[in-house]
Amino acid sequence: MADEKTTTQPLVGIIMGSQSDLKVMDAAAEILETLGVPYELTIVSAHRTPHRMIEYAENARKRGLKVIVAGAGGAAHLPGMVASLTTLPVIGVPVKSSNSIDGWDSVLSILQMPGGIPVATVALNGAQNAGILAAQILGTTNAAVADRLEKYKSSLKDKVMRSVEELKR
Ligand code: RP5
């Protein structure tokens, strides 16, 4: 698709229902950059551009994507509908949109998938974890990504241990 922001041969497709989701979904892109995972990022609305959604989902695997991270808010049908159209793993990010009923609309729309069509749902606004999970899926067959994930996780441990030292009294 011509308007996608691409890096070299994207392996993760980050999609979202609206530009208003970008402030949340950027966290998935940022962590993938940190982990050296090529990604693409674009807007695909299940309700406003349904044909674009079908085209995106049906062509994603052929285009070389390995994982899709899909964020949406409200009646958040994008992750589930994309999952129904591809065999790629789909990670759903419930976005708390401005007219949301505390985010429960987004969470439940993405979480409660019928049997046979799984979506790996992260926490409300949990785009960073979606990016990490996408990298972990890739890391099962990509040693370089797995190594970077180990360093990242080790940095989390180091941060906690620094706090432990600082708080010693
Ligand atoms: C959903 O509706 C989008 O994912 C977004 O979270 C929400 C509101 O969209 P806008 O009205 O801000 O475009 O489709």
Residue 113's domain is classified under what CATH number?
3.40.50.1970
Are 16 and 43 a contacting pair, CB within 8 Å? yes
For residue 7, pLDDT over 90 is answered with: no
Kindly indicate the confidence band of residue 165, based on its pLDDT and cuts at 50, 70 and 90.
very high
Atom of ligand 1 nearest to the CA of 97: 6
Per-residue exposure over 100-119, b if at least 16 CB sit within 10 Å of its own CB, e if not = beebebbbebbeebeeeeeb
| Residue 106, pLDDT above cutoff 70 | yes
Query: What CA–CA distance (Å, rounded) separates 90 from 84?
Result: 10
Q: Whose CA is nearest to atom 2 of ligand 1?
A: 73
Asked if residue 121 has its Cβ within 6 Å of ligand 1, the reply is no
C-beta neighbour count of 153 within 10 angstroms: 12
Tens digits of residue pLDDT in 33-55: 999 999 999 999 999 999 999 99
Quote the pLDDT of residue 98.
86
Predicted pLDDT of residue 105: 97
Predicted pLDDT of residue 99: 86
Q: Domain count of the chain?
A: 1
Sign, CA dihedral 144-147-149-151, equals negative
Q: How much is the average pLDDT of 75-84?
A: 98
Among 62, 93, 99, 60, residue whose Cα is nearest residue 78: 93
Please check if 18 is assigned to a binding site. yes
Check pocket membership of 73 for ligand 1, CB cut-off 6 A: yes
Percent of the chain residues topping a pLDDT of 90: 93
The position carrying tokens 């994309």 is: 82
E strand intervals along 7-119: 12-16, 39-43, 67-73, 90-95
Domain range for 161 is 5-166
> Is the per-residue pLDDT at 3 higher than 80?
no
Q: What is the pLDDT of residues 93-103, one digit of tens each?
A: 999 998 889 99
Please check the confidence at residue 12 and state whether its pLDDT lies above 50: yes
Looking at this predicted complex, what is its ipTM?
0.97
8 Cα to the center of ligand 1, angstroms: 29
Rounded to two decimals, the pTM is 0.94
What number is the average pLDDT over the span 58-81?
98
The confidence score (pLDDT) of residue 2 equals 43
Q: Mean pLDDT throughout 83-111?
A: 96
Taking residues 114-134, what's their average pLDDT?
A: 98
